[in-house]
Every structure is written in structure tokens, then in C-alpha cells.
Structure 1
Amino acid sequence: MFRTFFRHIWESFKSIRRNGWMSFASISAVTITLLLVGAFLAIILNVTKLADDIANNVNVTVFVETKTAETDVEVVGTELEKINHVESVEFSSKDDQLKNLTESYGDAFNVFDGDTNPLRDAYIVSADEPGNVKEVQEAAEEIPNVEQADYGGDFSDQVFNISSSVQKWGLIGTVILLVVAIFLISNTIRITIMTRKREIQIMRLVGAKNGYIRWPFFLEGAWVGILGAVVPVLAMVFGYDKIFTLFNRDLMKTGYSLMAPGDLVPQVIILMVITGAVIGSLGSVLSMRRFLKI
């Protein structure tokens, strides 16, 4: 049994070498496909992570009216704590906000000092669940002496819409690329079958079973897919690390981060190798069913 299996493997390698240019074309097609698939996966996973991070870290900023007395400001905080689904309430004075702005954007904001500070006292309200943020924001606006309650709704909605679009179109593009790769591999295997048609007929005449005849072609398609994954795997290992280093430093200043290479790269590599083997094998199966008729 093992001898037969290794013979099938050897025959699949010989077939790839025998059909050099066609095999090279199929491997190249798989390589290009998996490069794009890997890029799509990296983008989709990172955009999804950022959208989840934003969804899980959305706070409601409640601005107190400018001329509100200090005691009334404290009352606003007490009322905010009574709202359903509120997890925490943190006071941020206008001086604290000016300090944060100065640290983030430079000394240009130092012109606003003391009585000239145009900012307002505010409360940072955290909801217990991301889905309850909107409800907390609407309830906060009904409290007396509250001028505005904002949770960055427009920005958050834009991020979520972008995430949804990237996932949808990325999936559609990936499926199209995989179909093209399967088609090219299928044609390569079909040519191999046609060149060995007489050999296959002789094998059937001497009693070879269909499974025995199919295995070399099935393995050939799998090897084409795996060989096509080599370059995409190397590109993911070395390329994503550089991209992460280049962009993540600036992104972390906003409180968010891309997926770490150690979390993303192994997943994508395994998926690309498996995808390469599957589309290669599938292309081989389609060729045998449609053209070999065995």
C-alpha cells in the first residue's frame, strides 16, 4: 500500500516536470492568486479588528453647559450614573482637556489659558455593552445642564460601513481569484490527461481500478497548489512584519493597533497552503470528471 502511494507521488512529480511550461503557468496562477488572497485576508482581518476595537471602546462624551455652577456640574455626574447600562462615569474638566490637547497637538493650544480656555467641562461615560452606547447618549442629552452628548456616531458608523464593505468585496474578489486558479489548473491537468490517454487506456485494459488511475493526477494538482503557495508564504512572513512596523507606530497613538504578526501570519500561512492544495486538487478532480470520464 505504501509502495503504491509513494509511486503515485513520484508519478505526480514526473508529470509536473513533463508538462514544464503548463505546470509553470498553473503554479504562477496559483502564486498570483494566493498573493492577492493573502493581501485580502490581511486587510479584512485588520479592518475587522479595528472595527471591533472601536465598537468595544466607544464612550459617550457629555459636555456640560458653560455657565453651569459647580454644584450643578456634580449633579450632572450623579444623574449620569443613574442611567441604565452605564458602567462608569469619569469627570474631565476643561483644564484637563486643554492639557490633553496640548500634549497631543503641540504648544499651539497654550494660547488658551485660564479664563480664555474655550473648552467645556465634560463627563466620559462608558456603556456596559457597545450596543447600548446610543441609548446612553440619548438619555444623557435629557439631563438638565447638559449641552451635548456625543459618541462619535458618524465616525463609528463610517468605520463599521467600511469594514462591512471590505469584508464583502474582499470575499467576492477572493472567490473570483480562486475560480480562475481552479480553471487554469484544470486545463493543465486536462492536457496531462490527454497526453497520457493511451497509457491510461492500457492501464484500464490490464485491470487498473479507477482510483489507481486518478491518484497521480489528484496529487499533481495538489503539488501545483502547494508549490504556488511558496512565494505568497515568504511574502507574508517578511512583508507583513515590515508593514506592521511601518504603520502600527502611528496607529497606536490613536489607541488602536493592527494585528500582531505572531497572531496573523501563522493563520494566513496555514490557510494559504491549505487553499493552494485544495484548489489544485479540485482543478484535477474537475478535469478527470469532465474529460477523462473514468
Structure 2
Amino acid sequence: MKSRTFRRHVRESFKSLGRNGWMTLASISSVTVTLLLVGVFFVIMMNLNSVATSIEEDVEIRVHIDIAANEEDRELLANEISKINEVDSIDFSSKENELDSLIASFGDEGEAFKLVEQENPLRDVFIVKAKQPADTIQVADQIEQFNYVSSVKYGQGTVEPLFKFIDVSRNVGLILIIGLLFTAMFLISNTIKITILARRHEIEIMRLVGATNSFIRWPFFLEGLWLGILGALTPIAVVATSYYYLYDLIQLKIPNNHFIKILEFNPFVYQLSAVLLLLGAAIGVWGSLMSVRKFLKV
């Protein structure tokens, strides 16, 4: 396509936006509202996913070794566990280390344990992590069947509903976002339809003088593109500003060592802004494409 022809298409697309002022405003507003909701859902879902991933990574299987097992028995058990395909890592923690960890977890009160001379009642432990957190339960059930295993603990009763909640929240969020995007595409498509109907006589004349299909379609594609981009600017500004202040507020309220951490402002907001801009452009062009294919008989 020649640059002069492309400039002509750009001018025509902007003229069309001006001629259909109210419909243009309505479309931009609908895209703005839609992408604002999408942006909010993205912020919630991405941070929820980040927290969920952090929690999932902390899920581990603690295999308490039989007190009668010797060093050779422990090695055999470790080899059996390592043969499970879903196992990612195995770490050994002696009962002395387990006692030290227990004492440390009590803080100052734990110092009293050091003063009591008695045999260590704890057991040696294998700390096992699955490659995928969702495989934790399956791996734990397999390990429980092995010899020299006294007990297996992985947060039974807590892990199962946690994984289920994470899966459901991710799926619901994805469905809502897709629904909102299709709503925006439908609204832009209707705007382009009205533009095409208003210019049908002009289009017929263009066809009579030999204008090609692509020559007629290009201004409508560009018009959809501008509608999507203009509709994305306000949501980007609102979401970025809100997240900036929200991030500072949460940083003050939640200590750095807390397991709940939201995504850092940079680069998350810049990535989100790029996604919203691309989504705005994509749904604008897609809405225009659907309208042109269905209503423009060329």
C-alpha cells in the first residue's frame, strides 16, 4: 500500500469518528468502562495468582522416619521417594535440627527446652516437594505406603480446599475477563455497523468507480483501532494511579517478611498498561472486522 493511500485512509477514519460524534463517544465510553473493569480484574487476578503461587510453593510433605530405621534404611527410603516422577526435591532434616527449629519457633519461651535434660522425642524427617503443588496429595499418598515411614504430613484438610479455591478463582476471573472483552467488541461492532449504513451510498459509488475491497475496508479497520486505543487511555491512567497509591499503602501496612506480597509497581503496571492498550486495539479492530465482514457486501 502506498503511503499516500494509507494517509488517505487515516484521514477518512478520523473524519468518520467526527461525523458520528455521539456514537464515537458511546463506543469509547463503553471500551473505557470495559477495559477499566478488565484492568481491575487483572490487578486482582494477577496479585491473587502471585499470592497463591507463593503459598503453593511453601506446601511441602514432611515424611517422619520410623525411629527404628538406621542410616541404610533412610537411604533406601530416600531412593524410593526420588523414583516418584512427581517429586522435585528431597531434603533430610535430623531430629536434632527438628528440635532446634521447634525451640526457635517458640521464641524466648523455647529457651526453657534447652535447660531440660531429656532424650529428644522427635524423629528424623525427609522434606519432600512436588514438581507441581497440585501433585502434593498424590505424592504423599504414595510415600505413606513405603517402609520405614512413621507418618506423612502435608497440611491435610487445609491444602485440598486451598488448591480448589485457587483453581476456581482463576477460572472465574478468566471467564469474567473474556466476557467483558466480548462485550466491548460487540459495542464497537455496532458502532461500525451504523457508520457503514450511513455511508452505504458513498460505498456504492466507490465500488462503481473501481475501488477495491481492501481500499473500502481500511478506513473502517482504522476507525475500530482508534476507538479501542482511545478507550484504553483512561483505564490505563486510572489503574496505574490507583495501584501506585495502593502499593505504597500496603507496603506500609504489611511487613516485608509477610508471606502476602503484592506485585511490585514496576514492572507490573507498565506491563498491565501495555496489555490494556493492546487489548483496546485488538477488540477495536476485531469488532470492526466482524462488522465489515457481515454488513459490507464487497
Encode CA deviations 1:19-74: one digit per residue, 9 max, x unaligned.
Answer: 12211111111111112222223333333333333333322345699xx8xxx799
Question: For residues 234-274 of structure 1, what are the alpha-carbon distances to aligned partners after superposition, in whole Å with 9 as ceiling and x for unaligned?
Answer: 23333333334444663753445333333433332222212
| CA apart distance, 1:163 | 2.1
* Runs of 5+ unmatched residues, structure 1: none
The aligned residue for residue 291 of structure 1 is 295
**2:81 maps to what in 1?**
84
1:104-154 CA-partner distances (Å, limit 9, x unpaired): xxx8xx499446xxxx746564325345744357646977794x5321243
Q: CA deviation at 1:209?
A: 1.7
Alignment-derived partner of residue 99 in structure 1: 104
Partners of 1:13 and 1:251 lie apart in 2 by 51
* Matching of residue 206 in structure 1 with residue 203 in structure 2: no
Equivalent in the alignment of 1:35 = 36
Q: 1:158 aligns with which of 152, 161, 164?
A: 161
2:185 partner letter: I
Indicate the residue corresponding to 1:189 in structure 2: 192
Shift of 1:188: 1.1
Point out the more displaced range, 257-266 or 195-204. 257-266
> Aligned in 2, Cα 1:252/1:74: closer, same or farther, shift over 3 Å?
farther
Gaps of 5+ in 2: 83-88
Which range moves more in the overlay, 259-268 or 168-177? 259-268
Residue equivalent to 1:238:
241
Residue 9 in structure 1 maps to residue 4 in structure 2 = no
Question: Per the alignment, do residues 57 and 217 of structure 1 end up closer, same or farther by CA in structure 2, a change over 3 Å counting?
Answer: same
Change (3 A) 1:179 1:152: same
TM-score normalised by the chain length of structure 1 = 0.78
Question: Which residue in the other structure is 2:281 paired with?
Answer: 277
Inter-partner Cα distance in structure 2 for 1:258 and 1:37: 18
TM-score by length of 2: 0.77
How many residues are paired up? Answer: 279
SS class of match (2:254): helix
- Cα distance change of structure 1 residues 142 and 212 upon mapping to structure 2, 3 Å threshold: closer
How far 1:283 moved relative to its partner?
1.4
Cα root mean square deviation, aligned: 3.5
Classify the secondary structure of the residue corresponding to 1:199.
helix
Cα gap change, 1:61 to 1:128, in 2 (>3 Å) = closer
